[in-house]
Amino acid sequence: MTMTTAIEVRGLRKDFPVREKGILGPRTLKRAVDGLDLDIPRGRVTGLLGLNGAGKTTTIKILATLLRPSAGTVRIDGLDAVADARAVRRRINLIAGGERMVYTRMTGRENLWYFGQLYDVPKADLRRRTGELLDLVGLSGAADTMVERYSRGMTQRLAIARGLVNRPDYLLLDEPTLGLDAPIARDLRRVVADLAAHDGTGVLLTSHYLAEVEELCGHVYVISAGRHLAQGSPAELKAATGSHRTVRLTVTDPTERTRAAADAFGATRETLPDGGELITLRHPGDMAGPLTAAVFEAGGSIGGLEIAEASLEDAILTLAERGEAGLAGPGSGRPDATTIRPGAATAPPEAATAPPGAGTAPSEAAAAGVKGGTP
Ligand SMILES: Nc1ncnc2c1ncn2[C@@H]1O[C@H](COP(=O)(O)OP(=O)(O)O)[C@@H](O)[C@H]1O
Ligand SMILES: [Mg+2]
C-alpha cells in the first residue's frame, strides 16, 4: 500500500439497482460511475465536471463514505474509504449545495458541537474550533439563537461552518454555491481558495458555475456517463477542444479585396442589412490584430471589432458531445479519453474488488438526512 497524501480513486464503479417501467418492472442495474481514476492532492482545488447525470454526485458521495462503491478503490492518505471509513471520516467533509445539513431545532453553536462530536473532534479542540468557525462565517452574534430563527443566508453560512468543523484534510464540495446568495458564494470561494493555498486542504469541487471552476481549479476532470473524458487545467481543456476566441470584425465598405483578405484567414462572412460585412473568425490564438490589419491593408474601413474569449463551458460541452458521440458510435465501447496534460495520464485501474453489500454506509442518515429534525 502506498502512503500517498492524496485521495486516489482507481477503477471506481457504482451500479444502482433500478426497476424498468415502474415498481413491477424487471430489476436492472444503472451504472452511474464506470471505471473512474482520480487523483485529488492536498493544497489544490480539483474540479470534477460533466453534464447532468454524469456521475459527479455519486462519485463525491462515495468519497465522503456516504455510498459504497460497487467496484474499485478509494484511498485517502492510504486509508480505504470502505474498510477504514471511520478514520477516513475524520479527514474529510462534504458541503453540498441545496442540502443544508444542519438541525433547525438547535442553536448554531449546538449544531457545530454536535457535528464536531460526530466527526470525533476532541472536546477541547472543538470548543475553540466552534468559536473560530462561527467567527469565520459571521455568526458569532447569532451563535446561541435557534437555527429555525436564522435567515436563509445565515443557515447557509452555518452549513459551511459545519463542513469545516473537523478541519478536513479533504473538502468535498458538490455544487456548493447552488442557491447561495452572491455575497455568501463569494465568501465561500475565498475560504476555499484560502484553505487550499494556506492550510494545504485538498478540495474536490463540482459546479455548474464554470466561472467558479476557472477561478478555483488548477486541474479539472471531465466525465460523461460515469467515464473519464479528459483532464487538464481549464486553459488546457479550452485549447485541446479547440475552444476558440471569436473575433467579429465589421467592414463598412466590403470589396473583393477585403473579402479575399478575410478568406485567407478562413473567416466566415455575412452581409449586413446596411451593406457592410461581418467577418467572424474562431481561432485558438489571438487573431484580432492580424485580421484587422489585413482587412485594413486591403482598403477596408473597420466599423467595429469584438473579441469573445473562449469559455470553459464551450470546452465542456464540446468534450461531452464528443464523449457521447464516442459512446454512440458503432463498435466503440468507450470514448477516446483525452489526456490533455502530457505525463499526467492516469494509472490503469487496479484489479478492483467489490466490497460486500453495496449500499449506504451507516453515517448517511447522520450526515445527510437531517433537514429540520431533532437528532
Ligand atoms: N440512487 C440512485 N438510484 C438510481 N440511479 C441513480 C441514483 N443516484 C443517481 N442515479 C443515476 O446515476 C447517474 C449519475 O447521477 P449523479 O451522480 O447524480 O450525476 P451528476 O451529479 O453528475 O448530475 C444518473 O443517471 C442518475 O439518474
Ligand atoms: Mg450532482
pLDDT for position 372: 37
**Ligand index nearest the alpha carbon of residue 12:** 1
Ligand 1 in reach of 50 Cβ (< 6 A): yes
DSSP letter, residue 107: B
**What is the atom index within ligand 1 of the atom nearest the CA of 18?**
4
pLDDT 10s digits, 291-341: 999 999 999 999 999 988 778 888 888 887 777 665 543 433 333 444 443
**Ligand index nearest the alpha carbon of residue 30:** 1
pLDDT for position 337: 43
Distance CA 176, CA 199 (A): 19
Residue 343 pLDDT > 50, yes or no? no
- Ranges of CATH 3.40.50.300 domains, the chain: 6-21+28-240+313-347+355-368
**What is the atom index within ligand 1 of the atom nearest the CA of 30?**
5
Distance CA 180, CA 156 (A): 7
Average pLDDT over residues 21-26: 78
Q: Pairing relation of β-strands 45-49 and 202-206?
A: parallel
pLDDT for position 31: 95
DSSP letter, residue 24: T
Q: What are phi and psi of 70, to 5 degrees?
A: -80, -30
Residue that wins the pLDDT comparison between 39 and 363: 39
Ligand 1 in reach of 66 Cβ (< 6 A): no
**What is the atom index within ligand 1 of the atom nearest the CA of 58?**
17
Return the best residue to mutate from 48, 58, 175 for the ligand 1 pocket (most ligand atoms within 8 A of CB).
58
**Ligand index nearest the alpha carbon of residue 49:** 1
pLDDT for position 371: 38
pLDDT 10s digits, 158-203: 999 999 999 999 999 999 988 788 888 898 999 999 999 999 999 9
Beta strand spans in the chain (E) = 6-19, 27-41, 45-49, 71-76, 79-80, 92-96, 170-174, 202-206, 219-224, 227-232, 245-251, 268-271, 277-283, 302-308, 338-339
pLDDT for position 240: 80
- Ranges of CATH 3.30.70.1150 domains, the chain: 245-308
> In the numeric block, which cell numbers belong to residue 166?
473537523
Contact 301, 253 (CB under 8 A): yes
Give the residue carrying C-alpha cell 478541519: 167
Ligand 1 in reach of 30 Cβ (< 6 A): yes
Residue 367 pLDDT > 50, yes or no? no
Average pLDDT over residues 21-27: 79
Q: Could you tell me how many residues make up the chain? A: 375
Contact 63, 95 (CB under 8 A): no
- Going by alpha carbons, the residue nearest to atom 27 of ligand 1 is 53
pLDDT for position 21: 77
pLDDT for position 4: 66
Ligand 1 in reach of 16 Cβ (< 6 A): yes
CATH of domain 245-308: 3.30.70.1150
pLDDT for position 324: 67
pLDDT 10s digits, 68-127: 999 999 999 999 999 999 999 999 999 988 667 899 999 999 999 999 998 889 999 999
Average pLDDT over residues 19-44: 90
Residue that wins the pLDDT comparison between 311 and 145: 145
Distance CA 264, CA 256 (A): 12
User: How far lies 171's CA from each of 5, 86, 337, in Å?
Assistant: 14, 16, 27
Ligand 1 in reach of 55 Cβ (< 6 A): yes
Cα of 291 from ligand 2 centre, angstroms = 43
Residue 348 pLDDT > 60, yes or no? no
Measured in Å, how far apart are the chain's first and last C-alpha atoms? Answer: 38
The overall average pLDDT reported for the chain is 84
Cα of 8 from ligand 2 centre, angstroms = 20
Contact 116, 131 (CB under 8 A): no
Cα of 362 from ligand 2 centre, angstroms = 21
Residue 222 pLDDT > 80, yes or no? yes
**What is the atom index within ligand 1 of the atom nearest the CA of 174?**
21
Percentage of residues of the chain with pLDDT beyond 70: 84
pLDDT for position 284: 73
pLDDT for position 327: 52
User: How far lies 16's CA from each of 51, 70, 226, 368, in Å?
Assistant: 19, 9, 12, 19
pLDDT 10s digits, 226-246: 999 999 999 888 888 777 788
Ligand 1 in reach of 52 Cβ (< 6 A): yes
pLDDT for position 328: 47
pLDDT for position 208: 85
Cα of 234 from ligand 2 centre, angstroms = 20
For residue 365, what pLDDT band results from cuts at 50, 70 and 90?
Answer: very low
Distance CA 34, CA 363 (A): 24
pLDDT for position 26: 83
Residue 44 pLDDT > 80, yes or no? yes
CATH code matching the domain that covers 6-21+28-240+313-347+355-368, chosen among 3.40.50.300, 3.40.50.1000, 3.30.2290.10, 3.30.300.30 = 3.40.50.300
**What is the atom index within ligand 1 of the atom nearest the CA of 55?**
17
Residues measured by CB to lie within 5 Å of ligand 2, the ion: 56-57
CA 266 to chain CA centroid, Å, is 35
